[in-house]
Amino acid sequence: MALYAKAADILEKVESKQGAVKTLVFESKFQNIKQLFALVCETQKYSSVLQELIESTKLLKQTKVKMTQAKVLVYDLLIGQGIKCGGPWKVMMTKHRARLEAALARMKIKQKVTKNRDLLPSSVQQAEGVLLPRYVRVNTLKTTVDDAVDYFKRDGFSYLGEANRLDDLDLKAKSFVRDLHLSDLLVFAPKTEFHEHFLYKAGHIILQDKASCLPAFLLNPPANSHVIDACAAPGNKTSHLAAIMKNKGRLFAFDLDAKRLSTMSTLLLRAGVRCHQLAHQDFLKVDPSDPQYKDVEYVLLDPSCSGSGMVCLGTDASPPDPEREQRRLGNLAAFQLRCLNHALGFPRLQRLVYSTCSVHTEENEKVVAAGLQQNPGFRLVHLLPVWPERGLQPLSQCLRASTTKTLTHGFFVALLERHSDAVSRAPPSLEECSRDIFAIFFFNLQFFLKIYILNNAPAKKRKRKKKRAPPMQ
């Protein structure tokens, strides 16, 4: 019920021009943002169709729900994946189901169409033409890419081998390829549904956009390393990191949001991740000098962002208030830079990936440039030369991603590496201090011992030494 109440609330605000879908969904702090985002987007897309159905069946009078609540419920009942809640709303919708289905069937006959999608206004249908491939990351903690390919082949999909060009990712239904950039990624036709598939339910595959696979792939921490995932929930990148680390080493994952962490915990369990340590904690309050982080050499920083790169094609018609949007971007960028500076303060850090699903330079290149300026011991690594979309000048070492140039959601990734120890080192930890004090003490002890031995050596030896000394000229 919470999902529908929240979706209806957001839809109402969107329809009364109080904000954009992406912004409102991200600000809602709902546990499953993707699910909420998809429900609001799809309902909005079918808004005029749903309104007609609701009015023709007089649903509002008979149920006393509001129009936006009726829209999200009718959408999921007739077009989406079925009502996903229990309680009074489920009972109510089940009671009116037959009448609503009949009204939908009448509407299709009247418009001479067979599919629900054909009922959409032509402007929405045109925007729907831009569809992203369905990306499937093989979870190498549970299976291999070859085994997953074999499974899909037995399941009736036809395998076309490894893609060579971006155009090869334009696939027909029931065919798939291996991605040209990421070796553990399979690519299927848009909207291929896997949520009910055995491999998905068993955690052998993860449904993750290609761009969002880049951060862990580029950070590439070796097995047995110590890694921090600073803003980790719901944990797709954490599970990717664990797979790259072969479940060996230590993976500290932090998030502020308890609900998202609990979802994450379930996802990691399903994915067979074992090397992680989840903490419900503000990353900015994690102490870099705490001895437990003394061996952390890798950080993945994927902080909260505007989400402006997440595609909800053709539906987000409401223009955001520019002043409010600018203020929001400024606040986000300040938070992102604080996170970046904090992460760069871990004493043994060697490599850090910074990523966002935003298209705004304020949250991307500008944050990274400021971070580099304030931490001169780090520099940018030139990423994937074959990647077609680069960071905006002068940060062309970074990657950008978009629906048009990379067939993904909008995204940004930068990789920073330490190149000098002389600057931007965090103050040493207590353990490091005591180790250094002990080393100095030991060195001095050796020195005084030598002097003592020399001064107290037997007199005979000293005399002999004197005899052997060359005569003075």
Ligand X SMILES: C[S@@+](CC[C@H](N)C(=O)[O-])C[C@H]1O[C@@H](n2cnc3c(N)ncnc32)[C@H](O)[C@@H]1O
256 binds ligand X (CB under 6 A): yes
Which residue from 106, 91, 56, 96 is spatially nearest to 74, judged by alpha carbons?
A: 96
Residue 252 φ/ψ, nearest 5 degrees: -90, 120
Active-site choice (85, 357, 398, 433)? 357
Say which residues have a Cβ less than 8 Å from residue 151's Cβ, sequence separation at least 6.
Answer: 199, 204
- Binding segment for ligand X (CB under 6 A), chosen from 54-62, 113-121, 154-162, 233-241, is 233-241
401 is in an annotated binding site: no
Minimum separation from the CB atom of position 257 to ligand X (A): 4
Q: Give the amino acid at 453.
A: I
233 binds ligand X (CB under 6 A): yes
Contact residue for ligand X among 284, 313, 369, 381 (CB under 6 A)? 284
255 binds ligand X (CB under 6 A): yes
Contact residue for ligand X among 45, 134, 210, 237 (CB under 6 A)? 237
Minimum separation from the CB atom of position 33 to ligand X (A): 8
236 is in an annotated binding site: yes
Token pair in block for residue 259: 């609900």
Token pair in block for residue 310: 């997440």
- Whichever of 27 and 282 has its CB closer to ligand X, that residue is 282
Contact residue for ligand X among 133, 234, 272, 288 (CB under 6 A)? 234
243 binds ligand X (CB under 6 A): no
* Binding to ligand X in span 82-101, by CB under 6 A: none
30 binds ligand X (CB under 6 A): no
**CB 149: neighbour CB atoms within 10 A?**
18
DSSP one-letter string for 107-162: HHHHHT-SSGGGGS-HHHHHHHT----EEEEE-TTT--HHHHHHHHHHTT-EEEEE
291 is in an annotated binding site: no
Q: Which alpha helices (H) appear in 344-429, and where do they start and end? A: 365-374
Q: What torsion do the CA atoms of 153, 157, 162, 163 make, to the nearest 10 degrees?
A: 180
Say which residues have a Cβ less than 8 Å from residue 362's Cβ, sequence separation at least 6.
Answer: 329, 330, 332, 333
Token pair in block for residue 360: 């705004």
235 binds ligand X (CB under 6 A): yes
Residue bearing tokens 């929930």? 233
Beta strands in 345-464 (DSSP E): 351-356, 378-380, 399-401, 411-418
346 binds ligand X (CB under 6 A): no
- Binding segment for ligand X (CB under 6 A), chosen from 113-121, 154-162, 180-188, 249-257, is 249-257
- Binding segment for ligand X (CB under 6 A), chosen from 6-14, 146-154, 171-179, 250-258, is 250-258
180 binds ligand X (CB under 6 A): no
| Through-space distance between the first and last CA atoms of the chain, rounded to whole angstroms | 104
- Binding segment for ligand X (CB under 6 A), chosen from 82-90, 139-147, 253-261, 380-388, is 253-261
* Binding to ligand X in span 302-321, by CB under 6 A: 302-304
Catalytic residue list contains 357? yes
- Whichever of 56 and 220 has its CB closer to ligand X, that residue is 220
232 is in an annotated binding site: yes
24 binds ligand X (CB under 6 A): no
Helices (H) and strands (E) in the chain, counts: 17, 13
370 is in an annotated binding site: no
For the annotated binding site for S-adenosyl-L-methionine, the residues are: 231-237, 255, 282, 302
- Active-site residue numbers? 357
Binding site for ligand X (CB under 6 A): 231-237, 254-257, 260, 282-284, 302-304
